[in-house]
Amino acid sequence: MSPVFPGMMKEVMFTGIVQALGMVRRINRKGQDAVIEIESGLDMGDVRLGDSIAVNGTCLTVTAAAKDRFSADVSAESLERTNLKGLHVGDKVNLEKALRLTDFLGGHLVLGHVDETGIVREKAVKSSSVVLGIDVSPGAGRYIVEKGSVTVDGVSLTVNRFEKGRFYVNMIPHTAQVTTLGLRKVGDPVNIETDIIGKYVERFVRPGDGRKDGEKGEFDWSSLADGFSRE
């Protein structure tokens, strides 16, 4: 396994369709950061140093790679915002390689930039599927809409309903079997990435910059009307 050159960064996207499960083999703490080594169920034949792989929905850069495993640096920011900080050797993780232009977009556009960790508050079997009820903060909740998309631990899911800070998603048996979501229990933290489109729409239509997450703003109808008048 060879080191990656410093400064290798690029913007990538994912689809929220988990390609394989991995297993944590080593976690080395480096101050507030960490290096994680994962035994990979992915086809590593086309993985190069500097490539991006989503681990539980968190975009990480490959710093070393072999035929059956890879290593990645995890920043203090990623540890703070995600459930990667709670991983232990032997834990399973969801893996997805970055989207290529020739790939099918099977889920929705996912950046691998986790907003926060939600908490599983309900888990129930409905017919042959599993329904999860997950609590999120008001800051993340304002981007979650019924029948919209949300990423949970890197898995693209459809929101069944959202009420009082809790959203519900339905997992078919296949999803429960091939991802870690089938193993999640009530009380477990899960990585949440809301749909990026909603964030951009909000930024375009609300006046002013620098409003903090959760802070309410007025809809600028005049800017919308001006846009239509120029058509």
| Assigned domain for 142 exists | yes
**Kind and range of the H or E element at 164?**
none
Residue ending a domain, among 62, 97, 132, is 97
Domain identity same for 92 and 35: yes
Report pLDDT for 170: 95
Domain identity same for 132 and 184: yes
Report pLDDT for 224: 53
Domain identity same for 179 and 122: yes
Report pLDDT for 229: 53
- 146 neighbors 92 (Cβ within 8 angstroms): no
Report pLDDT for 209: 54
Q: What is the CATH number of the domain that holds 144?
A: 2.40.30.20
Domain identity same for 72 and 145: no
Report pLDDT for 187: 98
Q: Which residues of the chain have a pLDDT value below 50?
A: 1-9
Domain identity same for 91 and 123: no
Report pLDDT for 65: 95
| Assigned domain for 191 exists | yes
The number of domains in the chain is 2
Q: What pLDDT, in 10s, does the model give residues 36-75?
A: 999 999 999 999 999 999 999 999 999 999 999 999 999 9
Report pLDDT for 217: 53
Domain identity same for 136 and 168: yes
What's the predicted TM-score (pTM) here? 0.84
Which token pair is 8?
A: 């290798």
Residue 176: give the domain boundaries.
Answer: 116-198
Report pLDDT for 1: 47
Please list, in sequence order, all residues whose beta carbon lies within 8 angstroms of the beta carbon of residue 171, skipping any fewer than 6 positions away: 129, 130, 131, 132, 157, 181, 182
DSSP letters of 94-136?
Answer: EEEEPP-TTS---S--B-S---EEEEEEEEEEETTEEEEEEE-
Domain identity same for 28 and 62: yes
